[in-house]
Amino acid sequence: MRIRAGDTVKVVTGADRGTQAKVLQIDRAAGKAIVEGVSRVYKHVRRSQQNPQGGRLSKEMPVQLSNLMLICASCKQAVRTGARFADDGSKLRFCKKCGAELGQIAPPRTARAKA
């Protein structure tokens, strides 16, 4: 998965298409992400001791990762990402448009290090 919590993404399809927001949480098993302010629904809550007033709570629902594109920090566009190995053997994300590095995916491995 090339999208992580804390990344800025753009919603490609759906009712919130074109929205740019921050990823709050990733569910890797389901392949979904919770994005700030995207796919909001109302949850009706009955009155209780924890919630004495009751009513409707607005919350974000998970979005499929295939419906999101990462925003590159250097070129400020929604881009596809790739993975490559650095000289020390660590795996990095990079922008396919401008080639800028977008962070580390995996720690260094001696088998992939260039001598």
pLDDT, tens only, 47-84 = 999 889 999 989 999 999 999 999 999 999 999 999 99
User: Are both 87 and 105 inside the same structural domain?
Assistant: yes
- Please indicate, yes or no, whether residues 36 and 83 belong to a single structural domain of this protein: no
Regarding whether 24 and 66 lie in a shared domain, the answer is yes
Q: What is the pTM of this model?
A: 0.82
Q: How far lies 84's CA from each of 16, 48, 67, in Å?
A: 32, 53, 23
Are 14 and 64 in a shared domain? yes
Distance (Å, whole) CA 13 – CA 38? 11
Q: Which residues pair with 25 in a beta bridge?
A: 34
Q: Give the model's pLDDT for residue 113.
A: 85
